[in-house]
Amino acid sequence: MNLLFAPTLHEALDRAGLAYPEHEPEPGRLVRYGKGLASWMKVFPDQDGAVFGNWSDGTAFTWQRERSGPPPAPADLARIRQRAEEARRAAEAESEAAYQEAARKALATYMASGSVESNPYTSAKGIPPLIARERNGWLVIPVMDGAGNIQSVQSIGPTGEKRFMPGGKMAGGRCWLGDPTDSGPLVLCEGFATGASIREATGWPVCVTFTAGNLRPVACDVRKQFPRAKLVICGDDDRHTEGNPGRTKAQEAAKLVNATVVFPTFAGDQGTDFNDMAQQTGLPEVAQQIMGTVQPSRFRLLTADQLAALPPLDYRIKRILPAYGVAAFYGASGSGKTFLVLDAAMHAADGLAWFGYRSKACSVVYVGLEGAAGLPQRVKAYR
């Protein structure tokens, strides 16, 4: 717990980057406030100190009123820290009881919600509802802990407004789309719509963390649960937001858990996440950008719908050599395969038609696995 010396509690909160409660806190009593009631504070009875923090990211601070004169002696500092730790534990116990009550309400809310038939938000985002349910036109998405127990819910309105259950625990909260295993890739991302698009595009299990700040603790927990899995963090590219929190938090989490991190690359300047990409260019592009970081594209698995959505086949040599992928020339020994391939390569390098079929000029690398000593003579003969 960080110890802050400041003349006032207001100044200490400013240094910590936290907001002051709307109403003056009562000394000796735990106060929860702010978005989702994630911020907390307990002022000591003498009002010369306090503990405060934010449950969503686990930060905690101790404030001690700064006095003129010499700095506190080591024994005084020890007493300050001990009092702060005792107050923090008491606040944590009170908060945990409140979390348990919120978790019961969250479970009841989720279970009482119905299946999604037609929802404006899922339609606008082009995603399936998956684990989400619906209540009064709002999507209801479970926020779970590492053991799979519901600790809160996120509600998303028809126009995209997002709300978390007041008083519900968000720190470490997640929602799995698909069943995670230790044998394959596991994806982590921020938002539900982003996760649904990634799940649909790749078929991989996706862990939605709901916020950028949650990526780090959830990634660490997932790494402990699945030590052999390949983790892929699909971050938001919040390049239009100061500090780009989506990119920064994703990179921090990836570094801690030895994960691959990938961000969507757009042709223009619109879009920040992989759901934006799915809407702009389709699911195949989402799959290509994500799965290409883990496995070669030639081994990429596609559904029938994804295959049907692929662009027309492009060629380096019309009707002979595709622009992408693997091709093979085969024939009996001594039939001239080497000269045929070399001839095709030289034509493609110069952009010349080959046996009447147009070619597109491109760089060519010829790898001679055998007979390399005779290759210079063959090139001379060709020229």
Domain ranges of the chain: 2-99, 113-308, 315-382
357 CB-contact burial (10 Å; exposed 0-12 / middle 13-18 / buried 19+): middle
Six token digits for residue 228: 């052999």
30-73 confidence digits (pLDDT tens): 898 987 788 889 999 889 899 998 877 778 898 989 877 777 78
225-251 confidence digits (pLDDT tens): 999 999 999 999 998 899 999 999 999
Class of CATH domain 113-308: alpha beta
For residue 291, pLDDT over 80 is answered with yes
178 CB-contact burial (10 Å; exposed 0-12 / middle 13-18 / buried 19+): middle
Distance between CA atoms of 191 and 208, rounded to whole angstroms?
6
pLDDT at 198: 98
| Percent of all residues in the chain with a pLDDT value above 70, rounded to a whole number | 96
Answer yes or no: are the C-beta atoms of 191 and 145 closer than 8 Å: no
Q: What is the pTM of this model?
A: 0.66
pLDDT at 298: 52
φ and ψ at residue 71, rounded to 5 degrees: -65, 160
The model's confidence at residue 292, banded by pLDDT at 50, 70 and 90, is confident
